Amino acid sequence: MSFNHIVFQNIMRDKWTYISYFLSSVFSILVFFLFLITAFHPMMDTINPDSTLGITMIFCSFIVYIFSFVFIIYSMLAFLKKKTKSLGIFMISGASMKQLQKMVFRENMLIAITAIITAIVIGLIISPLFLMVVKNILQADSFGMYIPIQAIVMTLILFSILFLIVSRFTTRFIKKGEAIQLLKADVTQEKIIQPAPWKLILSILVTAILLLLFKVSPGIVESLAIFYYIIVFISLLFTIYFVLTQGILFATRRLQKSSSYYKKTNLLFVSNLQAKGNSHAHIIYLLSILLLAVFVCTSVLYSSYYNVEEDTEAVYPYSFQYISLPDNPVEQEQKDIDFMETTLNQETEGYKSYYSAFKTDEERRIGFMSNSNFNALGTQQTMILKDKEYYVVAGNEGTPPSSEAINDYLDERLQYTGLEENLILSTGLQEVYYIVPDDIYDTIDYPEYDVFAYEVDGWTEQLDVADTVEAQVTTEPDERLVTSKISLYDTEVFIKSIMFFIGFMLSLIFLSAAMSILYFYLQTSLEGEKEKYTGIRKIGLSIKEIRSVVTRELALLIFVPFSFAVILLFVVLFSIRDALSPVFFHMTAIGTGIFLLLFVLSFLIIRKAYLKKLVTE
């Protein structure tokens, strides 16, 4: 019998363990491959690799790959744990450590090659449907099928390297000194959770201090830059870990002191929880982190997709805005305006036009607008200023304007009457606008800019009109400034759609990883649990009672991480509630509700399948 035949027979004897590892690997590779198919699509050539969106795409590809790397290592270690007994038998049968490591390496590489090829084939089969979905998400005119040579080559190379490294690395965990332990793995008791109140308190204090620095000392945060966020992230991971482990220990002790401890199956449930508390805590911790990542992706990236129209109008108030500078020839200005209005008359169902003007200190970018010119615009209600009064309007979205700089320009002091934070013209054109009575405006000796603004009915559907106008009327820095919220909206929708897609892919891989980790945990402990409950049944415990204990244990593993992740998410959202829109909370609530429904269904399916394997009538 050849060595390769032994490897093959070993796989066939325990095929279900290998199949679970194989399927997890296929899914990780498939998600990465589909992501690359989208990233390398010819339509994506319009994205500048050095832009924020381009960097985000590269960064997310890196995250997916690194996560696949970590997840495959975890899957392989779980796989080795499941194989501990058979590996121990090989050892005492005379196999050397070198032969054993060689066998495991070949098994892993065989699975790896098969998984990579399977994932690519499946990806190519479903890619037309997948690209159709992406097309709808991105609202693209054309996002058809193509031959993804780059995606195939990169997937083959990267995952071949990944599996080669992982296979070489994990086989080093198999050592001769552990042979006896491997053989006794099914009877080896797990470590129980040790009390660590000081570690818990210290981790909470460190995390609280770091988060407090963010609010009270932004200068320190800025000086530390990315190093600060890395420290906060690590600190949060430790805090979550100690909160969960010590929380499980505290809950176990409270249940043991409870008056219901000796009622029904509570004693068995609590004893199980105490004996397996450490491994349960590790799984709950991993699931909580992964689910928190899923919720963050759905909340941040999905909600931004549904707020594009409002965000666009906040920075560009008009469908078209034409600012004519003093050096703009009158003939050119008239030609541009005639073309724009003719186009709007011919290609739209209706529009409103506004004419205004403002004067500006070009060096400081401080604008002055008369009361009449302010009322001539269409973005606010009519306002009447009394003599010696002035009104302040923001010039940059999200930047509070100065209400006092006007005193540097006027001989007499005017009375401040209020502030308008909503923009009246495109963001960034001026730092601030001071609205003053008409007679005072006439005395201000600065260059005057003419404003022509148009608001089109149903502007979100008028991209063709915007393309027609912008093909003829363009910005000339020293003559005219032309902006359109229609074009900005189209660009923002595309960017948000890409972010939506990235959020979907990340959510998918994090959620699938959480479910896979839970599956591996249940699979690796199945044999021991089966023997345990078989023994318990012999002393009189009914199948119904066993079902009750197992159901509660599965509910603990599934719903505690879910609840903990939701609590963490809403604590974070509540702490930054002033910076979030109602849409964000709305989408978060909807997303949480959908995931809750999915988890209830998953719990019912997992419970049925697990109980079927664990106990039989």
Q: E-assigned strands of 286-386? A: 320-324, 351-361, 366-370
Q: Is the pLDDT at 449 greater than 90, yes or no? A: yes
| 512-525: average pLDDT | 77
Higher-pLDDT residue of 599 and 505 is 599
pLDDT digit string (tens) for 466-480? 888 888 888 888 888
The pLDDT, as a whole number, for residue 368 is: 92
Q: Which has the closest alpha carbon to 279: 14, 520, 603, 550?
A: 520
Q: Is the pLDDT at 106 greater than 60, yes or no? A: yes
Q: Is the pLDDT at 176 greater than 60, yes or no? A: no
The answer to whether 371 touches 388, Cβ cutoff 8 Å, is: no
Judged by average pLDDT, the poorest of 78-82, 91-95, 105-109, 202-206 is: 91-95
The pLDDT, as a whole number, for residue 323 is: 92
| 310-317: average pLDDT | 86
Residues in the chain: 617
Q: How far apart are CA 158 and CA 151, in angstroms?
A: 10
DSSP 8-state assignment for residue 385: P
| 547-551: average pLDDT | 85
Q: E-assigned strands of 314-469? A: 320-324, 351-361, 366-370, 389-394, 415-420, 432-436, 448-456
| 419-441: average pLDDT | 89
Q: Is the pLDDT at 301 greater than 70, yes or no? A: no
Give this prediction's pTM: 0.72
The pLDDT, as a whole number, for residue 369 is: 92
Question: Residue 185: pLDDT band by 50, 70, 90 thresholds?
Answer: very low
The pLDDT, as a whole number, for residue 566 is: 87
Question: Residue 86: pLDDT band by 50, 70, 90 thresholds?
Answer: low
The answer to whether 160 touches 117, Cβ cutoff 8 Å, is: no
Percent of the chain whose predicted confidence (pLDDT) is above 90:
7
Residue 63 CA: distances (Å) to CA of 50, 326, 506: 18, 51, 9
Q: Is the pLDDT at 269 greater than 70, yes or no? A: yes
Q: Is the pLDDT at 315 greater than 60, yes or no? A: yes
Higher-pLDDT residue of 95 and 241 is 241
Q: Which has the closest alpha carbon to 390: 425, 366, 363, 356?
A: 366
The pLDDT, as a whole number, for residue 581 is: 65
The pLDDT, as a whole number, for residue 404 is: 84
Question: Residue 11: pLDDT band by 50, 70, 90 thresholds?
Answer: low
The answer to whether 174 touches 87, Cβ cutoff 8 Å, is: yes
The pLDDT, as a whole number, for residue 80 is: 67
| 404-416: average pLDDT | 84
The pLDDT, as a whole number, for residue 144 is: 66
Percent of the chain whose predicted confidence (pLDDT) is above 70:
81
Q: Which residue, chain included where needed, has tokens 């009449």? A: 372
Q: How far apart are CA 302 and CA 309, in angstroms?
A: 14
Q: Which residue, chain included where needed, has tokens 């979907």? A: 504
Question: Residue 179: pLDDT band by 50, 70, 90 thresholds?
Answer: very low
Higher-pLDDT residue of 298 and 594 is 594
Q: How far apart are CA 151 and CA 121, in angstroms?
A: 12
Judged by average pLDDT, the poorest of 45-49, 197-201, 244-248, 315-319 is: 45-49
pLDDT digit string (tens) for 18-66? 677 777 778 778 878 887 887 777 776 666 665 656 666 666 677 777 7
Q: Which has the closest alpha carbon to 317: 281, 278, 356, 350?
A: 356
Judged by average pLDDT, the poorest of 1-10, 412-421, 472-481 is: 1-10
Q: How far apart are CA 304 and CA 495, in angstroms?
A: 10
Residue 410 CA: distances (Å) to CA of 435, 436, 440: 13, 11, 9
Mean per-residue pLDDT of the chain: 79
The pLDDT, as a whole number, for residue 434 is: 92
- Rounded-to-10 torsion of CA 486, 492, 494, 497: -130
Question: Residue 17: pLDDT band by 50, 70, 90 thresholds?
Answer: low
Q: How far apart are CA 299 and CA 586, in angstroms?
A: 9
Higher-pLDDT residue of 264 and 170 is 264
Provide the b/e sequence for 547-586 (b: ≥16 CB within 10 Å). ebbbebbbebbbebbbebbbebbbeebeeeeeeeeeebbe
The pLDDT, as a whole number, for residue 160 is: 87
The pLDDT, as a whole number, for residue 92 is: 61
| 305-310: average pLDDT | 74
